[in-house]
Chain A
């Protein structure tokens, strides 16, 4: 109930406006200086070349940042795309006798195609194979460049034509080309960050499983992110070949360049827009000094390696974010945490549920014809020796609120994960609205109207509440990748949903600062954004303030009345008995009972499962033990 008159955001924006202008001014001034530099100092050939190399490094670091900063998948072989672009321009310009600059688009294209091909193989799985394959890609390309001597001229390398312009211009044209490419790359990266595609990449970095559950087609996103991070480097590679006028396999596919890219982006600030640019200028400057001072490659490597280790150990966030947080601390803008407005949260505000048109839907949308919406047939899932789900068959009728109870470890959450595709099904089938879905990836199931919440909330802690609610994608469309991350109608709908769960005034706070119960409600709003027909709630009342339990029950009833089907896992038995019909009971991976709540409550098999298997269990009929704690409010 603090500061009712002022929403949490104004204090934040009040400070950022002048800072934003300051930053924009500084960037404009720096760009202007760089543009004018060769005009003002036409004879300074050496500094021009150093700057030019800094531009190239910055192009690569900004590009790298798209896959490794935004999406969090580290590439250690990113100079592969520089080499690909360079070799494309080198081979074709010699063969066709044309100026390599005409081949810049070809360089970008080859790099992009390679990234898509490699990404489609490696990025299907989650985990750490990607980083390894990126190193392998670089070395494999080196081997190819040596071995396909007929095309690449092997270790002897390729000599390109000399620049076509007068000699006294020296490298000035290259200077401007690289500068233009850098501006384009930064613009591209900034644009990506503002789109749905960019938000999806960040969601993948923060929590890939959750991203898939809310409809982000993670594989497509990752592969596209990898391609987007390759294309400008490939283009720069074509220019670089012309600049060097000589290419050989070791130089073009250089692992040292890869490390320099990583170091630059990391030093400046991984995942930020300007960090990689700042880092590239710092790294290029220092390495130039080191080369002038020592000259030996060994010395440069020692410096590079030590710098990388030191940055990882002591400055993992990078220069730009670290300085920014120092600055904001000095100005004294700590985000004040607001507390839940209990009175407002407990008011039920009406919400009109949006249902998409499902092709199989009966004529009257809300009709309760008890047709099964979800059907699990003989589902089996093992983890090593443990059979977590052992031949479960379960149906959820359209329009019902089906309860799923059972002692701890009986397989409830595993069953949820099987239905949503978070883990793969061992044996059996899962059908949703007459379509078999157990082979579909999680996001395709989300697109078919399957939404879920998690037992322990999984919001994207770094994003604001509003960004979290806007993140889900009810369907995959290529067009929507380029759409604004937070568009007008979506933001309006998200605010409606936040209003519905009573949290609208937190819209601009970082989701991580909210209390657990609040996060549960935000997660529910997030799921509603999917316009689902079936919502799987995993312990909606678990760990939630008792006064909020009733609120959640009311929300579920309200949504159900408007046609959304629910499958609810819950330990608060009295709540389940009041809310759900029918109720299904799992024990040790098997379905032991299913039926109306009163019948299930009296079933001796169910009583035995609770009392006999789980020693710390409780007796559902009398409502003693754990069941009541959530109810006491």
Chain B
């Protein structure tokens, strides 16, 4: 019983981190219909930067996200204006290919500059745990999840309480309607892309502590994140949250009662099962398909 509770608890902690990572992806898809396959590469890029600064200065890796978020926000804004804006209006498949190219470019560049060895940031607390009765709460997971929940809360507040956030939501809901009431589609898209990329600033910093990584790790990450948003329903933030928790649980439960190496597969099986019952994902609204 304690083992089960432990597994569920760990699953929730990991799921929180996944939710943060997937939120950027689903936000960008919701607003721009761009499947940003480079999101995984952004995470790994940030993880490398975090690891590098941590190993030089010893600054706490998770705190480093305070630096990474503005950095990635700027990078996202520039990327949108320099690259993604050019394919506005073309089919979503072109944006997939474009971001896929970007992901591979980042992977190659990381391989050239940082080598292909596994890295991991290991601050003093990385293998310590808080003990509550018979339960063990690893500090790193807890801090990571706390950072994730904080950022998700912030994201929620921005989207719901600020004018810019409402503009983003309006554009996601009805682009032409938003344009009619004076929302500039291009600046909203740039903002959403920048915010989506900025979430990778926190996600990557947490990743650096929680998981070992190397340049090609981004495939693993992006496939998990994409799985989460397919499961939850593409473009839906609550869907991403739910999908992330399901993935977290699937991983810890398979690791506890089976073996970790099957956890990815278990997650894919869950996705297939969900798609069989609900072809558009759990929260996926069928888009209006009438002309």
Contact = CB atoms under 8 A, between A and B. Distances in A.
Interface string A404-423: 00000000011001000011
A304 B105 CA distance: 7
Nearest to B290: A417
Given A143-B261, A209-B290, 4 more contacts: A73-B93, A128-B35, A297-B116, A304-B104
B196 to A, nearest CB: 16
Interface residues of A, number: 59
A166 interface: no
A353 interface: no
A305 B290 contact: no
A129 interface: yes
Interface residues of B, number: 57
Contacts, number: 159
B279 A309 contact: no
A127 B91 CA distance: 11
Interface in A290-323: 296-309, 312-313, 316
B107 interface: yes
Interface in B94-124: 94, 96-98, 100-112, 116
A132 interface: yes
A266 interface: yes
B264 A139 contact: yes
Contact of B100 (A76, A129, A140): A76
B111 A296 contact: yes
A423 B291 contact: no
B226 interface: yes
A121 B276 CA distance: 6
B78 to A, nearest CB: 15
A302 B290 CA distance: 42
A618 to B, nearest CB: 24
A373 interface: no
17 contacts: A128-B29, A128-B92, A131-B35, A135-B37, A135-B219, A135-B222, A135-B223, A140-B264, A147-B261, A147-B262, A256-B104, A298-B110, A302-B104, A306-B101, A413-B290, A422-B289, A423-B290
A308 B101 contact: yes
A130 to B, nearest CB: 10
Contacts of B280: 125, 127, 129
B279 A302 contact: no
B101 A307 contact: yes
A124 interface: yes
A135 B101 CA distance: 14
Nearest to A208: B289
Contact of A300 (B108, B116, B230): B108
Interface of A: 68, 72-74, 76, 121-122, 124-129, 131-133, 135-136, 139-140, 143-144, 146-147, 209-210, 255-256, 259, 262, 266, 296-309, 312-313, 316, 383, 413-414, 417, 422-424, 454-456, 458
Contacts of B265: 140, 143-144, 147
A417 B289 CA distance: 9
B288 to A, nearest CB: 7
B272 A127 contact: no
B275 A136 contact: no
A121 B275 contact: yes
Interface string B250-290: 00000000000110110010011001100111000011111
Contact of A129 (B94, B230, B287, B290): B230
Given A129-B234, A302-B108, A302-B109, A312 B226 contact: no
Contacts of B91: 72
Contact of A143 (B92, B227, B264): B264
B150 interface: no
A76 B227 CA distance: 14
Contacts of B288: 383, 423
Given A74-B97, A129-B234, A136-B226, A305 B279 contact: no
Contacts of B98: 308-309, 312-313
A512 to B, nearest CB: 15
A455 B106 contact: no
B86 interface: yes
Query: Considering residues B92, B104, B227, which has the most beta carbons from chain A within 10 angstroms of its beta carbon?
Result: B104
A309 B101 contact: yes
B83 interface: yes
B109 A298 contact: yes
A284 B178 CA distance: 46
A210 B94 CA distance: 22
A423 B286 contact: yes
Given A140-B268, A312-B87, A313-B86, A122 B275 contact: yes
A74 B100 CA distance: 12
B105 A302 contact: yes
B57 interface: no
B90 interface: yes
A444 to B, nearest CB: 16
Given A127-B280, A147-B261, A308 B100 contact: yes
A259 B234 contact: no
Nearest 4 Cβ contacts at the A-B interface: A301-B108, A305-B105, A298-B111, A308-B101
Contacts of B291: 209-210, 454-456, 458
Given A127-B280, A305-B107, A454-B291, A298 B112 contact: yes
Interface string B109-141: 111100010000000000000000000000000
Contact of A132 (B104, B220, B227, B262): B227
Nearest to A123: B279
A128 B289 contact: no
